[in-house]
Amino acid sequence: MQHDKSSKWKRISAASRALLMGAALVFPALGSSAIAKPSAPAQVPAPKRMNVLFIIADDLRVGSAFGTNEVRMPNVDALAAKGVRFTQAQTQFPLCGPSRASFLSGLRPNSVKVYDLDTSIRGNKPDLVTMPQYFRQNGYFTAAVGKLHHQGVPGTIGLPPEKDPHHDPLSWDVAYKPIGVDKEIEWDDKLINPSHFHPGIAMAWYADPSGKPHTDDLVADKTIELIQQNKDHPFFIAAGFYRPHVPEIAPKAYFDQYAKIQWQPESRPDTSGIKRKEMDQGLSVDQEREFVRGYYASMSFMDAQVGRILAGLEKSGVADRTIVVFTSDHGFNLGEHGHWEKTVLWRQSTEVPLVIYAPKARGNGKTAAQPVELVDLYQTLADMAGLPAPVGPEGHSLRPLLENPKSKAWNYPAQSQVVNGRSVRYKQWRYSEWGVNGSDGAELYDLSKDPGEYHNLARLQRYAATVARLKPMLPPPPPPSTAAKVSNEGQLYQFVPGGRQKMPASWPPVR
């Protein structure tokens, strides 16, 4: 698949590439927006220091719909076979902004106090030291390509970093926000969008036959370039892909891989007794299936870009001293329990793919099945890079599991939360409470017997002791944020390159 992608890239005409990449002559930020600090990064005479390549997808669920294995992600699979694969990794908040603020700061949502999309990572803690900032303070070159902090997708794809209220210049020596043909598709009203919702939440899709580079193509291009340019000194380079976040736009070749899929609509109702707000987009089952095809195609397209980056790392000659991380900000529901997308506390939303490859780690090639958290990444990467233990981050270093994935010493719960809901994963259990002290209900699932989370055990007396044990492990009630809200997505559209980004006339709020 990677070879197919590369050949397609080579076939793009010079005129097409000039139109896309050279548009910066008309719109200075189009193609790739960048911001850099005035002075060059410090040169650290330590050629043996470990680099970090941090790759993150957007809204990527674990596996495929309802446990099938029909999605093709050969490059992520190859990385998982090479490193340590964490099968029970949990996001701390299944929504883009809060999740990213949490793992980039190393602080839980209740500490960084980011619960929505309109609060910046430093809104409540202006003096915090982020994960990339800590590496930068220790002499590393740091770069962000694509979506690392929260960014409205697809509305603000291509937004220059200096105009992005979520961009954090203290974290990065350079930051790039590419923009590809997927934005032209949106602007030209080519999306298949049955609900007519805002593209940032709509179950919309498009199989692109143009052969022009997509934004994620450009993320991979720039990441490969930065690795090559900075291979002679320590680096922390982060590649943030935009897919498979909606709308599901991918080259037609990836849609063609999924002409027929096994996905079937949910047949088991939600019997948990918890009242939930669902956003019904009114799609027919056939339309839902087409959307899922698009999601699968976007997963495979994103995977091809991961493969290109990993090949570029190998070609650079520094793969043997580069720690590689692959993950997502949170999961994604494809109709399970009648729910689509995210912001719930079922496993399809809270579980994330997580692979860490650290050269010479004794656990490489093995699987760790213990619950772990994205908030653990800060301490883990500092530890594995040989930096002094940072003061402040709340997670735990995953080194014990990277050295021995079966380690019995790892005995930590994994917490997740959403507005009005708190959850914990511990051993085989998930326990969640809704409302103040569970006033809106509670859920208990034994995932060893009920991996789909269909049988709520919380109200059964014989599980009272289990509930009593798990309840203190929940995240505390969230303290209020006192931060001023940043500009909302619509206010930023005027700065998106091309001058064509407009707010739909009628749309539900973007989540």
pLDDT at 374 over 60: yes
Q: Give the pLDDT score at 17.
A: 35
pLDDT (mean) for 466-488: 97
pLDDT at 500 over 80: yes
Listed range (24-28, 143-147, 233-237, 254-258) with the worst mean pLDDT: 24-28
Q: Give the pLDDT score at 266.
A: 86
Q: Give the pLDDT score at 154.
A: 96
Q: What percent of the chain has pLDDT over 90?
A: 82
Cα separation, 427 vs 406, whole angstroms: 13
Secondary structure of residue 248 in the 3-state scheme: strand
Averaged pLDDT of the chain? 90
pLDDT (mean) for 247-264: 96
Q: What percent of the chain has pLDDT over 70?
A: 88
Q: What is the pLDDT confidence band of residue 112, given thresholds at 50, 70 and 90?
A: very high
Can you list the pairs that 120-129 forms with residues at least 24 positions away whose Cβ atoms lie under 8 Å?
A: 120/165, 120/166, 120/168, 120/483, 120/486, 121/149, 121/166, 121/168, 122/168, 123/481, 123/483, 123/484, 123/486, 124/481, 124/482, 124/483, 128/392, 129/390, 129/392
pLDDT at 21 over 70: no
Question: Whole-model pTM above 0.85?
Answer: yes
- For 396-407, how does the pLDDT look when each residue is reduced to its tens digit (9 = 90+)? 999 999 999 999
pLDDT at 42 over 60: no
Residue whose C-alpha is closest to residue 140's, from 317, 276, 321 = 321
Listed range (99-103, 110-114, 319-323, 338-342) with the worst mean pLDDT: 338-342
